[in-house]
């Protein structure tokens, strides 16, 4: 318990230092743009790929469970849509991105720590946490939700392809299902989750990297820890958000 409190305290202090006044706004902004390209463009491929198959999988499995004939087949589209908005895109996509973006951030910052590059920044009078983490947070919070929102559409479209091509529903039934009883709040919750989980993913990975000690072996361990702790925290936050925002 003591260790957990120690890490929470150190994480809070790190975040406070991250959000302190930048030494040179122009340089921070340039770094943010560079990170945006890396995170946005770099994550696009994997998000497109997993989104299509998540939607397709959701549609097929929903259809498989509709054994009783009295349930209308439009439900396939409806459930694929709600699953996509509430869990598949915000949570599963972010868990996958934790593996890609999170491990990358942790190993990058961790390597900078063990090769004294962070000490070099500090010696120049640059706030290392601000310079290294703030642009990543800005880029992550702007780009990861944006890419994931594209993923939401692709997931629903993936469900359509699977349902129609597999003769599970007709095109009209699936589209009707997607449109039926649409609650904009579900989309809002999905988007809130995307922003929250992006912050969690970037900040926890950066925290792990920033306090790396040792050498190459420890950088590897840091990278693993970043993914594990980001995933656990995202899943925990998912439960809390659902409890708070989806109570009827």
Chain residues in the site for another protein (CB under 8 A): 17, 23-24, 27, 112, 115-117, 119-120, 122-127
At its nearest, how many Å lie between another protein and the CB of residue 5? 20
Instruction: Give CA 119 to chain center in angstroms.
Output: 30
50 with 153: CB under 8 angstroms?
Answer: no
Q: Which is nearer to another protein, 163 or 219 (CB)?
A: 219
Enclosing H/E stretch for 167: none
What's the closest the beta carbon of residue 230 comes to another protein, in angstroms?
23
Nearer to another protein, 26 or 248 (CB): 26
> Measured from the CB of residue 128, what is the shortest distance to another protein in angstroms?
10
Q: How far is CA 166 from CA 65, 88, 128, in A?
A: 15, 21, 53
CB-wise, 36 or 112, nearer to another protein? 112
Number of H helices, E strands in the chain: 11, 0
CB of 78 to another protein, least distance (A): 47
Closest distance between another protein and the C-beta of residue 109, in Å?
12
Burial environment of residue 50 by CB neighbours within 10 A (0 to 12, 13 to 18, 19 or more): buried
Q: Quick count: other Cβ atoms within 10 Å of Cβ 29?
A: 13
Q: Which residue has the tokens 């902004």?
A: 29
Q: Apex CA 247: angle with CA 242 and CA 248, to 5°?
A: 145
Nearer to another protein among residue 126 and residue 150 (C-beta): 126
Residue 132 vs 143, nearer CB to another protein: 132
Looking at the Cβ atoms of 71 and 124, the one nearer to another protein is 124
CA distance 230 to 124: 31
Beta carbons within 8 Å of 215's beta carbon, 6+ residues apart: 114
Distance of closest approach, residue 165 Cβ to another protein, in angstroms = 45
């Amino acid at each position: 318990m003591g260790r957990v409190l120690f890490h929470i305290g150190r994480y809070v202090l790190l975040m406070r230092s991250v959000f302190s006044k930048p030494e040179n706004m122009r340089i921070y902004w340039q770094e943010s743009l560079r990170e945006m390209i890396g995170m946005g463009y770099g994550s696009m491929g994997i998000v497109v790929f997993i989104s299509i198959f998540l939607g397709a999988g959701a549609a097929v499995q929903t259809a498989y469970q509709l054994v009783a004939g009295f349930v209308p087949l439009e439900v396939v589209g409806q459930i694929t849509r709600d699953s996509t908005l509430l869990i598949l895109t915000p949570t599963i996509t972010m868990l996958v991105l934790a593996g890609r973006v999170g491990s990358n951030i942790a190993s990058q910052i961790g390597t900078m720590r063990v090769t004294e590059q962070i000490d070099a920044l500090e010696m120049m009078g640059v706030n290392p946490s601000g310079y290294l983490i703030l642009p990543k947070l800005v880029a992550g919070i702007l780009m990861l939700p944006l890419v994931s929102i594209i993923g939401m559409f692709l997931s629903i479209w993936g469900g359509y392809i699977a349902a129609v091509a597999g003769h599970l529903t007709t095109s009209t039934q699936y589209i009707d299902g997607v449109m039926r009883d649409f609650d904009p709040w579900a989309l809002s919750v999905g988007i809130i989750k995307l922003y929250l989980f992006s912050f969690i993913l970037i900040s926890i990975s950066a925290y792990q990297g920033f306090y790396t000690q040792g050498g190459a072996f420890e950088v590897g361990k840091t990278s693993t820890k970043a993914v594990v702790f980001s995933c656990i925290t995202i899943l925990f936050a998912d439960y809390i958000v659902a409890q708070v925002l989806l109570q009827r």
